[in-house]
């Protein structure tokens, strides 16, 4: 290190650190609860009979239908209010 300056040495260390971060990733995988692609998630779903499964499916369908209806009503009300405001602003 007798032939180089301190600033050149620091620049070399910075480049080395940048290359290391680029290859390893920016964040520490242990701290962000990283799980690799080789780990599969296991779910503990209860075993349902055919009749219970059909009842559950029907409940999900009913919930989805009511939620969709509610969203359409809210969208309609917002649209009516916007059209009314636009009409009053023009006149």
Strands (DSSP E) contained in the chain are: none
Per-residue pLDDT 10s for the chain (91 aa) are 456 788 888 899 999 988 888 887 766 666 666 566 666 778 888 888 999 999 999 999 999 999 999 999 999 999 999 999 999 999 8
pLDDT of residue 1: 46
Contact 65, 58 (CB under 8 A): no
pTM to 2 decimals?
0.46
Between the CA atoms of 46, 47, 51 and 53, what dihedral angle is there, to the nearest 10 degrees?
Answer: 60
């Amino acid at each position: 290190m007798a032939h180089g300056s301190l600033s050149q040495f620091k620049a070399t260390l910075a480049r080395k650190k940048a290359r290391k971060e680029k290859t390893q990733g920016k964040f520490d995988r242990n701290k962000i609860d990283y799980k690799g692609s080789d780990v599969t998630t296991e779910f503990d779903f209860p075993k349902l009979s055919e009749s219970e499964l059909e009842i559950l499916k029907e409940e999900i369908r009913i919930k989805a239908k009511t939620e969709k209806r509610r969203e359409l009503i809210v969208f309609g009300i917002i649209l009516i209010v916007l059209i009314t405001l636009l009409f009053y602003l023009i006149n």
